[in-house]
Structure 1
Amino acid sequence: MSEQQPNVVGDLRVKNKTGETYIAATRRPDGTWRKARKVKEGYIPQDEQPKYQNRMQAAAAGSQMPTGITPRQMQAMLQKQQQDKKPVAAIVKPNACITQKDHVEKKLANAKKKLQEIEQMEKKFETGEEKPLPNQVTKMARKPEYLEEIDKLAAELEKL
């Protein structure tokens, strides 16, 4: 083992006078030595062989631009897409109440919905289908509050 070859693969390869190639002896992390190994010309160790990639991985690793588009065209397309986007405020709160009237109408609708639920529960209990649970009893006890709230909101809505 006399002359050394340039370190192409990542390990130290040595050719002897007869032309045989060896991977030089190396030290393991635990301190023991690996023996020098005789290898064929062009051999690549398992650790250094390129990893297999399926079609989808290979395509993803390739160009990020569609075929036939230049970088300038791609940049122009991206700028146009950014200009077409809606402002963030429109995206974050699409159902936001805009005026005071909308706000009052929404509260009125919620109060009517709760009153309707209470009336449905009362019908069930009157017919004897079910027995009321403690939380349902407290909800039915709040019926006068919802009626009062509906009257107040209706009056406020008429003022607006």
Structure 2
Amino acid sequence: MSIPPVSGIRESQSGDRVVPATRRPDGSVRKERKVRPGYVPQEDVSRYTNAKVETTRVPEGYVPGIGVVQSSESSSVSSKSARKNAKRRAKKTCEKDQQDGTAEKVTTSPDSKALPDAQATTQAAAPVDIEKKLKNLRKKLRQVEELKEKQAKGENLIQEQRDKLAGKKDLEKEIAELEQSLKGLHV
């Protein structure tokens, strides 16, 4: 026995699909209505579910928290790529162990040509980094000044803003230090 559709459509004796006759509240009878072949009423259309939701749906009667006990067979059976990855990991750990034992003997001699190039790039990049940091700190100092003006006008400040005001001296000190280091680099 199948579950009758929500819409109430049934198959008549002649094989046609019909909405059966019903009785109105006043006692009169609505006559039977034919339904065109292939028509599915809105009530009978099942709700859309995508494949991913279907695969993740838990079975009826499943109790959360009670895990399924995995057999030892399922843990030993793994995909081809999983086995390759496991081999790679094992190989890496073996190589690290071997290198740890011989690392004390290996010494590296710095290239005399590579050293000046590295120093030149760090010296060229240092003023740019310091200038960026200075710009950022000056911006923070401006924000502190604006907060100070707000406080002078009588506006209430939140805790974060009061903390910012308290750190004004530190900002000024850091700006002065960075300006000194920048002057030292330009000389």
Give the shorter-chain TM-score range: 0.3 to 0.5
